[in-house]
Structure 1
Amino acid sequence: MGLYSEKDSYVGFLSAFNYALSSNLLFSTQMYQARFNDNPYYLGDQGSNSSLTEDKTVTNGDEENYKLELKYLLPWGNVREHGLLGAFQPVRDVSFASPVDSGVSSIIFTPFYSSRELDIYNDKKEEATGFSLTFDWDNRDSVRNTTRGSHTSFDLTTGAESLQSEDLWLKWEFQNSQYYSLGPLGDWFDQQVLAFDFYTADTPTWNKCDGAVCARPPEQEQARLGGLYRLRGYTAGRYHGRSAIHYSAEYRVLPDWQPLDDIPLINYYDLPWWQWVAFAEVGRVADDYDLKTLHEDMKWNVGGAVRFQVEGIVVRAEMAKGADEGTFRVMINQPF
């Protein structure tokens, strides 16, 4: 996939997902390369929690991100009952609250390379080469239109500027999502769901320094808020630092009114449902992992979205507004 803008910016993206190498091993890859001209970046202290939106750097940037993923499906829950098919069933039973008995559990190994080269830095690249190791437990009844269950992941990422570098940094991330069905509401809504998400991250090597050189990831790999998934009312990577915490809450409904099948051209596609969403989010970054600090002066945004399932793919259009910034985005997949 490729996109091009009137400012001569471009994005190229190539991906392949879930190629089965065996009955328990899946392979995926994502490759991203982009050129952004006159693009806003929040560099250094400009990305701290106390920074102002107008304190930004507008420059040209080249970005790259390449990932290979090997996912091992643990022989538990749905995979134990149904084999490889159990990982891809559109609707699953999530009656149990243990990964051994319910859902799909996996261990994911992901080597990666990322870089960012900004004109303001005279072509000096910020690079990261490393890998992440993730335990993931997907206990949702449906990936596209979740009404019950949970999704939990714990991720360890380590990397350095190059394979030869000794300044290895380490970052951990934890995320948990919970979903509660409220049932229908008269003739108004066929389905109501409350969805909650919690995310937190830290970089324990942040203050491990040898002179002026510290074991810290480059800014594109730091704990970040803003963008498509967290603090959606803000620019991608608006806030970054050593640690982060973030809370999301969504009220999702499927309206009884479904006009999409009557719209010319659109009705050629399979559109089984559309969804209205109201959401609110709070979060912040910090240079220490201190729960008291992370819950002070938190940034927030509220928003609304319309989401559709189109030929098996969830498309979302969202508007979100924070205290000093707002965004409109169109993207695929649920945010959590």
Structure 2
Amino acid sequence: MKIKILVKNYSKYVLLITVIVLTSNLSSQTAGEIKDTVEQEISAVALPFGLYSEILGWAAGGFVGIQGLSQRNMSIYMGGLLSTNGTKYGFLQFREFYLPFYPRIYIAPDILGGYFGVLNVYKDPPGTPPPGDPKYRAGSNESDKDNYMEVSGYDQWYELKFRYLLPIGHGKDIVYFTPVLENGILKSGEMGGTDWNPFISGRTFIDIKPFYRKRVAFATNGIDFALTRENTDFYVNPTKGSFQKVAFRRDFGWFDTMAPWSVVETDLRWYLPLHEFLFDKSSLPKVLAFDFWTINTLTWNSYDIVGIDPEGNEIKKYHRPPPYTGAYLGGRYRLRAFYEGRFNDRAAIYYGMEYRQIIKWNPFDLWTVTKKLNVHWLQLAAFFEVGRVAPEWNISTLHTDMKWSAGGGLRIFMNNLILRIDSAFSEEGNFIQMYVDHAF
């Protein structure tokens, strides 16, 4: 079933901004002392690009990166793209930004907006009563891949994450980190990954993130609360250590939200440095990465009665998140061989494994012009993933009839940023994904 919806009544300008300010690296000196003692070096790079994805089709755009503008490790990335399916986007990203007067607080604004020429949404049409059997609902684990709505319209996404670095582990005495890279590979100044104990190793954050998103007619807003431990050597490209996150996300029903809802989420990751275990420790990094993720919607069966239909039946408005957030699989991060949000339900579980190996060959070093792009290395990757969504969080159900995805990809490290290209296949076909940062 394909239903086409055209939406044209939102903001006039397109703007995709994904602002990622992950962590700031500040020493326990005062902000004034740091300003006096840290020499700032500003570097910039500009790069036109072309890409292809199953969602956008062919696209062309430009990218600019600036590092060290106001703080030593702060980076700004901006750009935009136009695609053959009518999508228009622009983006702006910040990384490593801290409050100068209290450096234990990091700020991570995250803003997204743009216009989708064509987008598939795996959700039943508005006003359609839920099917008697959940498996017939669009986006369910058993749903047909052609059971979606085809929509066009604006996408807006605004987030502002506040992070407080706890005074434990690597964050006890140091809050401004200065990783030392040689040809893009960490040589010293690790941020974690030295011990399993959070009081000895890694950085632990309390995160509070207000958010607002409106994709076409599906709007949501609220606050995300999380406890995050980053126990890896270098968060941009981890080669050892682990990552743990436990989060509670709540839409309070403010503004133009579809409905209030609540979810709980857990994300656990491990990184094994195979080059240290099986090869020469001085060789280029070879990493085996694992990810476990699960989520449950606490308010899935809660609802408000908003009216009576012509047949005298109650019209219920369920407290469920939109299909692009909450318990969903498919897209850039989880089950990469499926369309974005292909599967969505009350609960989900996911397991991912990826092998990553930096290679010696770098074609960007062959010409003077491409050398200026500051591409340090290329990395090859191979991955396998399994996951499933379900109408309840039940360990047996979530491990029955799981979907799978497998493939390989290329990573490009430039100006402290990972550019990622993945090609994946599954029982529903092949998919190409191009994005920034590792999937996990």
TM-score, scaled relative to structure 1: 0.89
Report matched runs for 1:1-336 at 5 Å: 1-21=79-99, 22-44=102-124, 45-85=137-177, 91-117=190-216, 125-163=217-255, 168-183=260-275, 185=279, 190-211=284-305, 212-263=316-367, 265-336=369-440
CA distance in 1, matches of 2:84, 2:420: 24
Distance 1:15 1:59, change over 3 A: same
Distance 1:90 1:163 in 2: 45
Summarize the Cα distance change of 1:113–1:259 in structure 2 as closer, same or farther, 3 Å threshold. closer
What do you get for the CA RMSD once the two structures are aligned?
A: 2.4
C-alpha separation between the residues in 2 aligned to 1:166 and 1:61? 17
Deviation of 1:12 (Å): 3.3
Read off the aligned partner of 1:19 and give its amino acid letter. Answer: F
Equivalent position SS for 1:244: strand
**CA deviations over 1:114-173 (Å, ceiling 9, x no partner):** 1122xxxxxxx3221210001110001122332210011111100044259896321011
Where does structure 1 lack aligned partners over 5 or more consecutive residues?
A: 118-124
For these two proteins, the number of residue pairs brought into alignment is 327
Are the aligned partners of 1:260 and 1:267 in contact in 2 as well (CA < 8 Å)?
Answer: yes
Which amino acid is the alignment partner of residue 171 of structure 2? V
Q: Deviations over 1:294-334 (max 9, x none)?
A: 11111111010111211221111111111113211222111
User: C-alpha separation between the residues in 2 aligned to 1:272 and 1:114?
Assistant: 35
Gaps of 5+ in 2: 1-78, 125-136, 181-187, 306-315
State the Cα distance separating 1:285 from its structure 2 match. 0.7
- The Cα of 1:87 is off from its aligned counterpart by 9.5
Larger Rg computed on CA atoms: 2
- Where 1:265 maps in the other structure, the secondary structure is helix
Compared with structure 1, are the counterparts of its residues 166 and 229 closer, same or farther at alpha carbon in structure 2 (3 Å cutoff)? closer
Cα gap change, 1:72 to 1:209, in 2 (>3 Å): same
Contact (CA 8 Å) 2:177, 2:191: kept in 1 or not? no
- Asked whether the equivalents of residues 79 and 85 of structure 1 are also in contact (C-alpha less than 8 Å), the reply is no
Following TM superposition, by how much is the alpha carbon of 1:24 offset from its aligned partner in structure 2, in angstroms? 0.7
Report the identity percentage.
Answer: 30
Deviation string, structure 1 residues 9-36 (Cα, Å, up to 9, x no partner)? 2123334344322121111212111221
Give the drift of 1:221. Answer: 2.6
CA apart distance, 1:217: 1.8
Judged with a 3 Å threshold, the aligned counterparts in structure 2 of structure 1 residues 173 and 90 are, in CA distance, closer, same or farther, namely farther
Distance 2:192 2:140 in 1: 43
Corresponding letter in the other structure for 2:169: G
Letter in 1 for 2:300: W
- Relative to structure 1, the CA distance from residue 164 to residue 309 in structure 2 (aligned partners, 3 Å threshold; closer, same or farther) is closer
